[in-house]
Structure 1
Amino acid sequence: MVPTEHASEPVRSILVPTDGSDVANAALDRAVALAADVDGTVHVLAVVDTTTDPLRFDSGLVADIEDAKNELVEDVLEAVDGRQVEVSGAVRRGRPASTIVDYASEIDADLIVVGRTGESRTAAALLGSTADRVVRTASVPVIVVPDPETDETAD
């Protein structure tokens, strides 16, 4: 984990990456609740991942994926509307974990709230996970929200 200089600073700007999953929605709910408590802003980010196998993507498919991510962010913003919290949204292209960390720096986020998939610890150790990579590389604190549908004790 990268040391943080922000430990004593108040949380005002919270980044929440989303892929539309239940665990991402749980992370969003946690971020909105935190933002409401501190009169903060929530920034929702969806990432178009074209880095895993660039040969299988053509420009039309990337545009379709980007359109779907934009629609996802709009839906999330609409769902949060009326909760007395300022919310903004963005879509970026790139490797998910590094794009999340870079965007956190770009918006000067004080905190990242990310959902953890239901992967076992063994799978995460072998394959890595976006949440794990964000935790290890972010320069701000990260809250990892577990999947509400999985048994946290299962491996």
Structure 2
Amino acid sequence: MIPGVKKILYASDIDKGSRPAFRAAVSLCGHYDAQITYLHVLENEHQDNMALQSLLKEDGMREMYENSLVDLKTKLEARIDKFFKEEVEELDMLKEEQVSSMIREGKPWKTIVAAADEIDADVIVMGTRPHSGIGHALMGSTATKVMQNSKRPVLIVPLKK
């Protein structure tokens, strides 16, 4: 086991089948009486899209885009909250006050590593789904990059597609 775990960063894409990774984080939480921060990253591939950046410079388009992000984050927070409530009811070892959430924008692996640094996480817990191709034979690219770039322990939980 990892000594002295008090803060767990659980990174999730909120996709179906992600519960085994959350339950692994909950298990660590129960063992160490720790706190879990649930992180969802909104991938911002649009920053590299020159056509979209040009469009967003037009009057009103940036505001419309920002409003849609606020709406999306609100919906994600509600979905995360529902997920927590369902899990807390099922798992006696987890209390609502032990869990918080954050939604960030960015390149997923970089954002996960940065969020772990920000909250000073003792461990990062995340799932990975099988991918096709040689480069993803064992693990997804986000999980691999987090492991390669984090100075913190990373617990990877295999998920079903």
| Equivalent residues of 1:14, 1:112 under 8 A apart | yes
What amino acid sits opposite 1:66 in the alignment?
Answer: K
Deviation at 1:26, TM superposition (A): 1.3
Amino acid at match of 2:38: V
Question: Deviation per CA, 1:46-67, whole angstroms, max 9, x where unpaired?
Answer: 11111x2342883344334323
**What's the CA shift for 1:29?**
0.6
Take 2:103 and 2:67, find their aligned partners in 1: how far apart are those partners? 17
Deviation above 6 Å: which 4+ runs of structure 1? none
Cα RMSD of the aligned pairs, angstroms, is 2.4
Of all paired residues, the percent bearing the same amino acid is: 29
2:125 aligned with 1:113: yes
Q: Which has the larger radius of gyration?
A: 2
Q: Deviations over 1:54-111 (max 9, x none)?
A: 4288334433432332223212222233533311111111111111111111111000
What is the rounded CA distance, in whole Å, between the counterparts of 1:26 and 1:8 in structure 2?
A: 19
Instruction: Find the aligned partners of 2:154 and 2:13 in 1 and give their Cα distance.
Output: 17
TM-score for the superposition, normalised by structure 2 = 0.74
Q: Say which is worse superposed, 26-35 or 73-82, in terms of deviation.
A: 73-82
**Where does structure 2 lack aligned partners over 5 or more consecutive residues?**
57-64
- Name which of structure 1's ranges 134-143 and 17-26 shifts more when overlaid on structure 2: 17-26
Distance in 2 (CA, whole Å) between partners of 1:137 and 1:42 is 21
1:3 match:
none
Specify which of 57, 66, 84 is matched with residue 73 of structure 2.
Answer: 66
Structure 1 unaligned blocks of 5 or more? 1-6, 151-155
Asked whether the 8 Å contact 2:8–2:123 carries over to 1, the reply is: yes
- Find the partner of 1:84 among 93, 109, 131: 93
